[in-house]
Amino acid sequence: MARNRSCLYEKYVWEVPVRLTHWVNVTAIIVLSVTGFYIGSPKTLGLVPADFVMGWVRVVHLTAGYAFAVSIASRIWWAFAGNRYAGWREFVPFVYPEGRRDMGRMFLYYLFLSRKVPHPTGHNALAGATYLLVFVLYLVMAGTGFALDAEHAPGGMMRVLLAPLYALFSNQGMRLTHHMGMWLLIAFAIHHIYSAWLMDVKERGGVMSSIFGGYKPVKRGE
Amino acid sequence: MAKNGDEHDEMKQHCFGTPGLWEERGVSRRDFLKFCTAMSAALALPVSLAPRIAEALESDSRPSVIWLEFQSCTGDTEALLRAANPTVGEIVLDVLSVDYAETIMAAAGHQAEEARLKTLKERSGKYIAVVEGAIPMKDNGVYCCVGGRSAVDIAREVCGGAMATITVGTCASYGGIPAASPNPTGAVGVKDAVPGATVINLPGCPVNTDNLVATVVHILTFGKLPATDSKGRPLFAYGKRIHDNCERRPHFDAGQYVEQWGDQAHRAGHCLYKMGCKGPETFHNCPTQRYNEKTNWPVGSGHGCAGCSEPHFWDTMTPFYRRLPNVPGFGVEATADKIGLGVAAATAAAFGIHGVVSALRKGDESDAGKEG
Ligand code: HEM
Ligand code: HEM
Ligand code: SF4
């Protein structure tokens, strides 16, 4: 045991852009969900017509939306510029045999069919594949969000740039998609925080603190 | 000496022009010029163009009009005819030589069809076709026939040879209500039925007569169609979002919403967003131009916008009294939020149970570096 421990070292896994975009996204999603919920089913909070409750809620929603979009774009760039743990390959484990094997192992563990907890240095394969879906959801939210915003100016640049989205969705369908996306993200967050906790306890790999500090304990020679 | 209005107008006539066509029809010179100015405003043109409009309307080149009626409720004809007083707008359409219009023409039967054929032949490429109602395409178009010919057949002939086709109302523009799911007759709008035609869409339920008149005036004045948006609608009438011109908008921004029909907020004129108003996604000049000689419009009278002027009206805009559509595959009572909450709760429950089992389970081994 002592021998094992001496072989551990702290490996720098999550670089600054990964952690920064993670927490910007978390903050933005919380702000966007709270304000989005109000936009979706508002209560009468204005006392006089000169109030600006919905006005401010929309300003905050849009500002957070822009921050979110910049953060998503940065993370996508870092998937090509960052280290291997941040790289795009981490998110498509299903295209190579090793990744498929790791996904299977993780899945069996989740189903209580295996007692072996895989402990990869980067994302576990199943999580990586899930994050791909989450990033797609991010893009859907940002795309439909900007499209909803651009609707008021049919000749505007944003409206023209997002033209394919208007072909893809009906007006109301776009709203519904944007609305349901919020619930899917909330469902993901519940699962995600739980899994982070579970893996922290079971893997004993310090995954929870890694998203704050960036380091994970790793066996030498790995 | 107290002069009454008529005498005053008469004086003006003598000062500003020769009594002509318009005066004969009982429209004073003053009202006529007022109309031309209003038209320049409706068309979003500078007022300095009003004289040009006047000139165009006074020339006696009367373009022929063929008004076709297919799968429709005749609401657009009604809107045009039922104005309380004869309006100048009506007279503009009078100035057009309406050679064929089933609802209003004197001729009937073969005589009427002959009039249509005559116009087609003699004025090919010069007449304006106005279409009201959708065109059924299924089964060779048998679901709407006039004088033994199918609507699509007639439309191909008439719209194909027209200088321009103006579709009045949503059905002629995009299929409208006849095209609502499951669309048993395969109804479509004119542009889909006759792709080669030059079409300008004036959707709405019904069309706003002012916009029809303004479009005709534009064609007469400039000899071409007004600029349109991507849905073929003239920008002067459909270029602005309802939500952005709505008189209830300050209440939207303030956060004051009608929660129930007839509640205090409804009576105070607050925003109808929660009652399913589709104003945030619809484009029409209803809030400014209004209907029935600028009397009112739906939101003004307390009903949310139903989105009648958008393509796929009915299928995508229902339910009218809810903000969001029903989620496909779920019952009508399941709102997006109920389903969303269910998804989140199910996730929480599933992982909650997973967590309890995991916590009780001993002996999992990790290949992690850390040792316990
Ligand atoms: C995770 C990210 C986001 C969440 C959870 C979220 C949530 C929501 C929700 C629930 C609504 C109400 C939808 C409805 O019922 O009609 C909404 C509306 C809206 N969102 Fe977002 N949103 C997000 C991102 C964005 C982004 C990136 C933008 C773009 C700037 C954006 C722009 C808008 C706009 C303009 C509306 C108003 C739509 C309307 O006029 O009906 N959202 N959002
Ligand atoms: C208290 C809240 C949270 C904690 C402690 C947390 C923790 C973590 C940890 C430890 C990782 C990296 C390890 C891995 O699973 O591979 C991670 C990654 C990630 N998390 Fe979270 N998370 C939180 C909230 C959220 C929320 C609310 C979302 C989005 C809805 C989110 C989305 C993501 C995504 C997309 C990644 C992949 C990051 C990347 O590679 O760029 N997280 N999180
Ligand atoms: S009533 Fe409809 S169009 Fe008017 S401000 Fe409210 S949501 Fe917008």
Are B166 and B268 members of one domain? no
Q: Is residue B226 part of a domain?
A: yes
Helix (H) or strand (E) holding A10: strand A8-12
Same domain for B126 and B153: yes
Contact at 8 Å (CB) between B272 and B299? yes
Bridge partners of B257, per DSSP, are B271
**What's the domain range around B228?**
61-236
Contact B243, B280 (CB under 8 A): yes
Clarify whether residues B111 and B220 are in a common domain.
yes
Q: What is the SS3 assignment for B259?
A: coil
Give the residue carrying structure tokens 């510029």. Answer: A81
Report for A207-211, B77-81, B101-105, B367-371: range of highest mean pLDDT: A207-211
Residues 151-210 of A with CB under 8 A from B: 151-152, 154-155, 170-173, 175-176, 179-180, 182-184, 186-188, 190-191, 194-195, 197-198, 201-206
| Closest Cβ–Cβ partner in A115, A118, A179 for B324 | A179
* CA B118/CA A115 separation, integer angstroms: 88
User: Does position B115 have pLDDT exceeding 90, yes or no?
Assistant: no
Q: Is the pLDDT of residue B370 over 80?
A: no
Residues B165 and B70 both lie in one domain: yes
CA distance B27 to B10: 11
Buried b (16+ CB within 10 A) or exposed e, B123-158: beeebbbbbbbbbbbeeebebbebeeebbbbbbbbb
Q: How many CB atoms lie within 10 A of CB B360?
A: 7
Would you call A216 helix, strand, or coil by DSSP?
Answer: strand
Q: Which parts of B96-194 fold into alpha helices (H)? A: 109-122, 151-160, 170-174, 190-193
Best CA proximity match to A171, nearest among A161, A182, A183, A159: A159
Say if residue B260 is in the same domain as residue B195: no
| B231 located within any domain | yes
Confidence at residue B220, expressed as pLDDT on a 0 to 100 scale? 85
Residue A168 maps to which CATH number?
1.20.950.20
**Phi (first) and psi of residue B99, to 5 degrees:** -80, -20
Q: What percent of chain B has pLDDT over 70?
A: 88
Phi, psi angle pair for A86, to nearest 5°: -95, -10
Contact flag A203-B251 (C-beta cutoff 8 Å): no
Q: A25 CB contacts (<8 Å, ≥6 apart)?
A: A68, A71, A72, A75, A138
Q: Is the pLDDT of residue B52 over 70?
A: yes
- Residue B273 DSSP SS3: helix
Which residues of B are annotated binding-site positions for [4Fe-4S] cluster? 73, 171, 205, 243, 246, 271, 277
Contacts A105 to B, Cβ<8 Å: none
Domain carrying residue A148: 5-219
- Is the same domain home to B209 and B254? no
Per cent of chain B over pLDDT 90 is: 52
Domain final position from B190, B217, B236:
B236
Nearest CA in chain B to A58: B253
**From the CB of A134, is ligand 2 less than 6 Å away?**
yes
Average pLDDT, chain B: 86
In a domain, B51, yes or no: no
φ/ψ of residue A209, rounded to 5: -75, -20
* Burial B15-29, CB ≥16 within 10 A → b, else e: eeeeeebbbeeebbb
* Claim to verify: residue B95 and residue B138 sit in the same structural domain: yes
Interface probe, candidates A33, A44, A198, chain B, greatest B C-beta count within 10 A: A44
The pLDDT assigned to A6 comes to: 55
Domain-terminating residue out of B295, B316, B337? B316
CA distances from A72 to A29, A82, A146, B359 (A): 12, 14, 14, 35
**Per the structure, how many domains does chain A have?**
1
Question: Considering all CA atoms of chain A, what is the largest pairwise distance in Å, rounded to the nearest integer?
Answer: 72
A184-211 pLDDT tens trace: 999 999 999 999 999 888 888 888 999 9
Which DSSP helix (H) or strand (E) runs through A81?
helix A53-81
Q: Is residue B28 part of a domain?
A: no
A62 phi/psi in degrees, rounded to 5: -70, -40
The answer to whether residues B100 and B119 touch, using CB atoms and an 8 Å cutoff, is yes
Whether residues B211 and B111 share a domain: the answer is yes
ipTM score here?
0.91
Asked if B274 and B259 touch (Cβ cutoff 8 Å), the reply is yes
Asked if A24 contacts A138 with a C-beta cutoff of 8 angstroms, the reply is: no
What are the strands, taking DSSP E only, across chain A?
Answer: 8-12, 116-117, 215-219
Q: Are residues B189 and B114 located together in one domain of the fold?
A: yes
pTM: 0.89
pLDDT digits (tens, 9 = 90+) for A60-90: 999 999 999 999 999 999 999 999 999 999 9
For residues B99 and B198, membership in a common domain is answered with: yes
User: Phi and psi (nearest 5°) for B357?
Assistant: -60, -45
Tell me the CATH number at B83: 3.40.50.700
- Please identify which residue in the block is written with the tokens 């702290």: A10
* Residue A80, phi then psi, degrees to nearest 5: -110, -25
Could you say which of B194, B212, B236 is where a domain stops? B236
DSSP summary character for residue A93: G
Residue B86 has pLDDT above 60, yes or no: no
Range of weakest confidence among B5-19, B58-72, B141-155, B321-335? B5-19
Q: What is the pLDDT of residue B271?
A: 97
High-pLDDT (> 90) share of chain A, %: 73
Q: Say yes or no: B152 and B290 in one domain.
A: no
Chain A residues with CB under 8 Å of B356 CB are none
Q: Which of residues 25-44 of A touch B (CB under 8 A)?
A: 40-44
Q: Is residue B360 part of a domain?
A: no
pLDDT of residue A5: 52
Please state the rounded mean pLDDT for residues A99-128: 89
Report how far ligand 3's centroid is from the alpha carbon of B273 (Å): 6
Amino acid at position A64, single letter? A
Distance between CA atoms of residues A90 and A130, nearest Å: 11
Mean pLDDT, residues B325-349 taken together: 87
Report the nearest-CA residue for atom 7 of ligand 3: B273
Question: Do B214 and B272 share a domain, yes or no?
Answer: no
Number of domains in chain B: 2
Q: Which SS3 state, helix, strand or coil, does residue B150 take?
A: strand
* pLDDT > 70 in chain A, percent: 96
